[in-house]
Chain A
Amino acid sequence: MQLELREKTSLGLAVTAPIAAVVAALIFSSVLIMWTGESVFHGYAMLVKGAFGSVFAITETLTKATPLILTGLAAAVAFKAKFWNIGGEGQLYCGALAATWVGTGMVSLPMVLMIPLLLIVGALAGGLALIIPVFLKTRLNVDEVVTTLLLNFIILLFVSFLLEGPLKDPMSLGWPQAAPIIDTGVLPVIVAKSRLHTGFIIAVIAAISIWALMRFSVWGFELRAVGQNQNAARFAGISINMTVLRVALISGGLAGLAGITEVAGTKGYLTLDISTGFGYTGIAVAMLANLNPVGVIFSAVFLASIYVGADSMSRAIEIPNYIADVIVAASVLSVLISLMLVKYKIRWR
């Protein structure tokens, strides 16, 4: 068996391949549903209903998609430059922590100023969380996969310490949680009686901005050049270290924003469980979107619908919601394979 680069990829193939891949993943997962003794069609119908079956369901899915879009973008931007930022989770908490620090009474501004302030502070905190890994990578050639991954645990333990100690809300009845964000800092709800907040719009705007940045700006050009061929980029006069630093700040900043949307939007205050692994799931989101910033919106909504739908399904019928993880993992794998087949063709000999 050999792989050969395709000279041309037809549009039909490029569109159908990822869809076929997701269908394949659903068929694969249906084996597990059958195992539980439930009907596959009924199971998937309940899943779709749980994710999109009512206004409430849709708002829940989009609420869940909000941080995933941002952490997905964080991974997509970094991976495009071959900077393997696995630390989205930690950067998310850094953003959340900064919002808590600034937004729980330290400053009090009208909403039009307070929300942008929180966003900026959160993005900065997320970006700065990558300064040490970048420094270690560019100066000492330390693998960023290791440093960013391990930093997640350090940051999480630090947040845990703060929530048990200095930041603990005295009104929390003993729960490890911080004081709520002041009213002018809370992201307004979009749909009445739902949790869906303006963070979703912020995330979509971020995705489009990142797309435009990659497509039209010199930064985007340099970032792609460094990612695709670092030697040629250096030879042409692009500063590798500068580009890596910039990519890291943007990537960390986006993950930090995800922390803001959760603390100032979905939850309202900082706890240790504002993220259910959004930083890690963001990597799957980015992979599923083939690192395309606009594609990230769709893949984030897709993954969010699987998680929300599976939760709802598991409440209605006897299928555990762990099926969501299986579907997501199978989708990512099959989409990766399909993307390879779009780029290469297989030759049997």
Chain B
Amino acid sequence: MPVLELNNINKSFGSLIANKDITLSLEKGEVLALLGENGAGKTTLMNILFGHYRADAGEIKVNGKKLVPGSTENAIDAGIGMVHQHFTLADNMSVLDNIMLGTESLLAFRTNKAKAKEKIHKLSQQFGLAVNPDTYVADISVGERQRVEILKVLYRNAKILVLDEPTAVLTPQEVDQLFKTLNLMLAQGLSIIFISHKLHEILQISHRVVILRRGKMAGEVATKNADRDMLAQMMVGREIERPKVDHLTPGKIVIELKDLSAGGHKQQTPELKQIRLQVHEHEIVGVAGVSGNGQSLLADVLSGVQASSSGNLYFMGENISKKSPRELVSMGIGRIPEDRHQDGVIGDMALWENFIIEDLRKLPFWTFGWLLNEKACRNYSDTLIKTHDVRCNNMDIQANLLSGGNMQKLILARALSHNPKFILANQPVRGLDEGAIAAVHEKLFEAKRKGAGILLISEDLDEIFSLSDRITVMYHGMLSKPVDIDKASIKDIGVMMAGDLALAKTIQEDSHAA
């Protein structure tokens, strides 16, 4: 008998069908991979399983017993544990307190910490999850936080673990470690649902794969009968043509960072520490790194929204350290922000208004520099919508009604329409489906052929390796010496990402010597 059964789960949000007739089962000691693009309905399905959402129709059975829908308590009691993609830990509490949180009776006079510690100790021994229960969560690394999340679930005696994109924040080496832990769990009779869109990981760890596409089941295969191309095809539903990399001869330096430092406030750790980097014409430089190592701060400085504290930033030989975002755009710097919704568009404004938002006070959009020339704005938007294939009913709809891919096309169109000499692309394809990813990458290659220098910041090593001419690694606010793509290996970059401090330091000294 399967430990978990989901039967004909249906869920829709308004006109969006998130899950349609999803049926799947999980056997004891098995890893079931749930594969699908962003928006395929994986997370919704697991939120229904865990009682965050209530399905419109369908039922869930654990060990043959029906689960009460919409009750998280019931799901936990039945032995289901969820490790969320975005961690749910309190930074200002210790590891121990985080794990115990919610497990103690409200009426209990005192908590039995010694007993809890002992149980945590046993669990971490059993599954190879090293943590120190007394440190504060704020002080531990991302990999450790994930271990705490897993321990939290195990502490509640979960027998069925749901891991939502668990590798997204890990270095390749940390992923190996996680997989070891998962195998130990299977050996102890636990069952795992592993959600991912990374094919090689699924092939490595799972026994069976269920593929979701646009809310529906697109197939189910035993992993031993599957290969990469087949899974990719099933996930996307069509052939995807990947744009090809041209290696061009780099031209002049377009942007140069000279001992650039920034940040250092409490919210902005880590600070940028004397960064040196050059990006040339016809070149894409990839910045790899585990998220939260200062990439956002670097992007903010290059976008003009954060001032540097020391050092200089040159664009085409001119010092631009003190320039405002508007000046940077006029000089020929195109910027693609990390968070489309937060920084890229104004969701409540119309598409055409979002197209011209970087061109305020400029002709032909603003007569005399202040009076709106709506016709010019609309013509311009119309051209960009057509040339960049932004799919929308009309340009008067609010920007937040666009899909992620189309929103990104809008941002790209806006940035590229000025023919920038330097483009900062911060996580340009995060959360997009394969078709949109190919479109965005093609646009970046096109800009590179036209002579732009591009700095690509990404947490996805595959993306870094398939786009970059040179790769540099960011760790604790430091940047390594760039490596040519033909000399770089995933393994070396992974070691650098893990940030062996001594290693990172020598790299940094190297780059200063260079």
Chain B residues lying within 8 Å of A229, measured Cβ to Cβ, are 342, 345-348
Chain A residues lying within 8 Å of B401, measured Cβ to Cβ, are 7
Complex CA gap A221/B353 in Å reads 9
Chain B residues lying within 8 Å of A315, measured Cβ to Cβ, are none
Chain B residues lying within 8 Å of A228, measured Cβ to Cβ, are 346-349
Do A237 and B346 have beta carbons less than 8 Å apart?
Answer: no
Chain A residues lying within 8 Å of B344, measured Cβ to Cβ, are 232, 235
Chain A residues lying within 8 Å of B327, measured Cβ to Cβ, are 237
Min CB distance B129 to A, Å, is: 37
Q: Contacts A218-B369, A235-B335 hold; do A224 and B360 have CB atoms under 8 A apart? A: no
Complex CA gap A216/B15 in Å reads 35
Q: Contacts A4-B14, A217-B370, A235-B337 hold; do A225 and B358 have CB atoms under 8 A apart? A: no
A233 at the interface (CB under 8 A from B): yes
Do A237 and B337 have beta carbons less than 8 Å apart?
Answer: no
Chain A residues lying within 8 Å of B361, measured Cβ to Cβ, are 218
Per-residue CB contact flags for chain A residues 160-191 toward chain B (1 = under 8 Å, else 0) read 00000000000000000000000000000000
Chain B 319-347 residues near chain A, CB threshold 8 A: 324-329, 335, 337, 342-347
A219 at the interface (CB under 8 A from B): yes
Chain B residues lying within 8 Å of A239, measured Cβ to Cβ, are 324
Per-residue CB contact flags for chain A residues 223-263 toward chain B (1 = under 8 Å, else 0) read 01100110111111111000000000000000000000000
B303 at the interface (CB under 8 A from A): yes
Chain A residues lying within 8 Å of B305, measured Cβ to Cβ, are 234-235
Task: Indicate which residue in A218, A235, A238 contacts B372 across the interface (CB closer than 8 Å).
Answer: A218
A222 at the interface (CB under 8 A from B): yes
Do B360 and A232 have beta carbons less than 8 Å apart?
Answer: no
Of residues B305, B342, B353, B360, which shows the largest number of chain A Cβ atoms within 10 Å of its Cβ? B360
Q: Contacts A7-B401, A228-B348 hold; do A219 and B370 have CB atoms under 8 A apart? A: yes
A349 at the interface (CB under 8 A from B): yes
Do B14 and A7 have beta carbons less than 8 Å apart?
Answer: yes
For residue A349, which residue of chain B has the nearest CB?
A: B54
For residue B327, which residue of chain A has the nearest CB?
A: A237
Do B360 and A235 have beta carbons less than 8 Å apart?
Answer: no
B366 at the interface (CB under 8 A from A): yes
Complex CA gap A36/B359 in Å reads 62
B109 at the interface (CB under 8 A from A): no
Do B303 and A235 have beta carbons less than 8 Å apart?
Answer: yes
Min CB distance B332 to A, Å, is: 14
For residue B346, which residue of chain A has the nearest CB?
A: A229
Complex CA gap A224/B357 in Å reads 11
Q: Contacts A218-B360, A221-B360 hold; do A232 and B345 have CB atoms under 8 A apart? A: yes
Complex CA gap A113/B169 in Å reads 69
Of residues A218, A224, A238, which shows the largest number of chain B Cβ atoms within 10 Å of its Cβ? A218
Q: How many residues of A contact B (CB 8 A)?
A: 25
Do B372 and A237 have beta carbons less than 8 Å apart?
Answer: no
Chain B 156-173 residues near chain A, CB threshold 8 A: none
Q: Contacts A7-B15, A237-B324, A237-B329 hold; do A218 and B370 have CB atoms under 8 A apart? A: yes
Min CB distance A309 to B, Å, is: 37
Complex CA gap A117/B56 in Å reads 66
Min CB distance B9 to A, Å, is: 14
Do B324 and A225 have beta carbons less than 8 Å apart?
Answer: no
Min CB distance A344 to B, Å, is: 10
B143 at the interface (CB under 8 A from A): no
Task: Indicate which residue in A4, A221, A233 contacts B13 across the interface (CB closer than 8 Å).
Answer: A4
B477 at the interface (CB under 8 A from A): no
Do B346 and A233 have beta carbons less than 8 Å apart?
Answer: yes
Chain B residues lying within 8 Å of A215, measured Cβ to Cβ, are 372
Q: Contacts A224-B349, A232-B342, A232-B345 hold; do A237 and B360 have CB atoms under 8 A apart? A: yes
Complex CA gap A218/B342 in Å reads 22
Complex CA gap A229/B339 in Å reads 13
Chain A residues lying within 8 Å of B54, measured Cβ to Cβ, are 349
Do B346 and A232 have beta carbons less than 8 Å apart?
Answer: yes
Complex CA gap A34/B325 in Å reads 62
Per-residue CB contact flags for chain B residues 88-116 toward chain A (1 = under 8 Å, else 0) read 00000000000000000000000000000
For residue B348, which residue of chain A has the nearest CB?
A: A228
Q: Contacts A217-B371, A218-B366, A218-B369 hold; do A235 and B14 have CB atoms under 8 A apart? A: no
Complex CA gap A224/B14 in Å reads 28
Chain A residues lying within 8 Å of B14, measured Cβ to Cβ, are 4-5, 7, 347
Min CB distance A82 to B, Å, is: 12
Complex CA gap A221/B359 in Å reads 12
Do A234 and B325 have beta carbons less than 8 Å apart?
Answer: yes
Complex CA gap A215/B342 in Å reads 24
Chain A 312-341 residues near chain B, CB threshold 8 A: none
Per-residue CB contact flags for chain B residues 31-70 toward chain A (1 = under 8 Å, else 0) read 0000000000000000000000010100000000000000
B304 at the interface (CB under 8 A from A): yes
Of residues A222, A224, A236, which shows the largest number of chain B Cβ atoms within 10 Å of its Cβ? A236
Chain B residues lying within 8 Å of A218, measured Cβ to Cβ, are 360-361, 366, 369-372
Complex CA gap A74/B358 in Å reads 28
Task: Indicate which residue in B15, B325, B348, B366 contacts A235 across the interface (CB closer than 8 Å).
Answer: B325
Chain B 405-435 residues near chain A, CB threshold 8 A: none
For residue A233, which residue of chain B has the nearest CB?
A: B346
Task: Indicate which residue in B56, B335, B337, B360 contacts A222 across the interface (CB closer than 8 Å).
Answer: B360
Chain B residues lying within 8 Å of A236, measured Cβ to Cβ, are 325-326, 357-358, 360
Per-residue CB contact flags for chain B residues 267-309 toward chain A (1 = under 8 Å, else 0) read 0000000000000000000000000000000000001110000
Per-residue CB contact flags for chain B residues 346-387 toward chain A (1 = under 8 Å, else 0) read 111100010001101100001001111000000000000000
For residue B53, which residue of chain A has the nearest CB?
A: A349
Chain A residues lying within 8 Å of B345, measured Cβ to Cβ, are 229, 232
For residue A6, which residue of chain B has the nearest CB?
A: B14
Of residues A217, A232, A234, A239, which shows the largest number of chain B Cβ atoms within 10 Å of its Cβ? A232
Chain A residues lying within 8 Å of B342, measured Cβ to Cβ, are 229, 231-232
Task: Indicate which residue in A216, A222, A225, A349 contacts B371 across the interface (CB closer than 8 Å).
Answer: A216
Q: Contacts A4-B14, A218-B369, A229-B342 hold; do A237 and B358 have CB atoms under 8 A apart? A: yes
Task: Indicate which residue in A221, A231, A238 contacts B343 across the interface (CB closer than 8 Å).
Answer: A231
Chain B residues lying within 8 Å of A232, measured Cβ to Cβ, are 342-346, 357
Other A-B contacts than A221-B372, A228-B347, 4 sampled, CB-CB below 8 A, are: A4-B13, A221-B360, A229-B342, A229-B347
Residues of A within 8 A of B (CB): 4-5, 7, 215-219, 221-222, 224-225, 228-229, 231-239, 347, 349
Residues of B within 8 A of A (CB): 13-15, 54, 56, 303-305, 324-329, 335, 337, 342-349, 353, 357-358, 360-361, 366, 369-372, 401
Can you list 15 pairs linking A and B with CB atoms under 8 Å apart?
A4-B13, A4-B14, A7-B15, A218-B372, A222-B360, A224-B349, A228-B349, A229-B347, A231-B343, A232-B357, A236-B358, A237-B327, A237-B360, A238-B326, A238-B360
**In the A-B complex, the 9 residue pairs with the closest CB atoms:** A237-B326, A237-B325, A236-B357, A235-B343, A229-B346, A228-B348, A218-B370, A216-B372, A4-B14
